[in-house]
Amino acid sequence: MQTEDGQVIEPYSISAGLDYPGIGPMHAHLFESGRATFYGVTDEEALVAAVECSQLEGIIPALETAHALAVFERLQAKPNEIVVVNVSGRGDKDLSTYQNRLKLND
């Protein structure tokens, strides 16, 4: 994430792992070559997906992973299609964020 002049822009994400302005060369190449589609996901969408996964699967996903899970809404996958999700991490490390943002202690 950079300005036209090439200065790095301060990023933001609810998740630590995504709160970073850089991207790895593989992802950059997938984008440049058109082999991948990239979706933007908001904090709220990620939180909703995290709760859904926890309740339906009994897996509390990491906040980073929750962003991937939030894409299902947009994918509109059909029942006979196979979707593979990289569940990149557990949500144990994010419990306090979940508690605060979902107001679970109120």
Give the interface with other proteins as residue ranges (CB under 8 A): 2, 4-8
Which residue lies nearer to other proteins by CB, 11 or 85?
11
Indicate the burial class of 58 (C-beta count within 10 angstroms; 0-12, 13-18, 19 or more): exposed
Which residue lies nearer to other proteins by CB, 5 or 81?
5
Q: How far is the CB of 37 from other proteins (least distance, A)?
A: 25
Q: How far is the CB of 20 from other proteins (least distance, A)?
A: 12
Structure tokens given for 11: 């990023």
Which residue lies nearer to other proteins by CB, 21 or 85?
21
Which residue lies nearer to other proteins by CB, 8 or 102?
8
Contact 31/10 with Cβ under 8 angstroms? Answer: no
Q: How far is the CB of 7 from other proteins (least distance, A)?
A: 4
Q: How far is the CB of 13 from other proteins (least distance, A)?
A: 18
